């Protein structure tokens, strides 16, 4: 096989692994499932409230940001648990920082949601 074929095969495999990870996240991780449900609710609200294209862009960005942050937090926590299954203060610190990053994303998503929706109710 030539290098172009190998490249294409490797890309297809990478997409397959990514899709598998996506499926694992949305079917088994409670924090991701909760965020997906919130994303669906906010998307429904967007249709009901007829938000603008710009508001859609910010809302979709916020939903994606939270899902990515929660996913990375989950990966970091799983890796930390694998490396050091019993409690360790430094592992706990790392996991807290990871959760803090996801919390940052959630805070900004709430702010974006408030900016979009509060004026529609006033």
Is 96 labeled as ligand-binding?
yes
Fold of 30-120: Helix Hairpins (1.10.287)
Is pLDDT at 4 greater than 90 in this prediction? no
Report how far residue 89's alpha carbon sits from residue 76's, in angstroms, rounded to the nearest whole number: 15
Q: pLDDT digits over 37-62, tens only? A: 999 999 999 999 999 999 999 999 99
pTM of this structure? 0.88
Any idea where the domains of the chain sit in the sequence? Answer: 30-120
87 DSSP 8-state letter: -
Is 86 labeled as ligand-binding?
yes
Active site residues: 70
Closest by alpha carbon to 59, among 34, 38, 30, 32? 38
């Amino acid at each position: 096989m030539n290098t172009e074929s190998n490249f294409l095969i490797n890309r297809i495999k990478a997409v397959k692994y990514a899709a598998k990870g996506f499926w694992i996240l949305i079917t088994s991780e409670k924090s991701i499932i909760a965020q997906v449900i919130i994303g669906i609710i906010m998307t429904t609200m967007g249709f009901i409230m007829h938000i603008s294209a710009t508001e859609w862009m910010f809302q979709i960005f916020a939903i994606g940001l939270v899902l990515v942050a929660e996913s990375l937090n989950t990966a970091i926590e799983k890796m930390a648990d694998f490396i050091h299954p019993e409690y360790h203060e430094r592992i706990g610190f790392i996991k807290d920082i990871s959760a803090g990053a996801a919390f940052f994303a959630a805070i900004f998503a709430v702010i974006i949601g408030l900016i979009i929706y509060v004026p529609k109710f006033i």
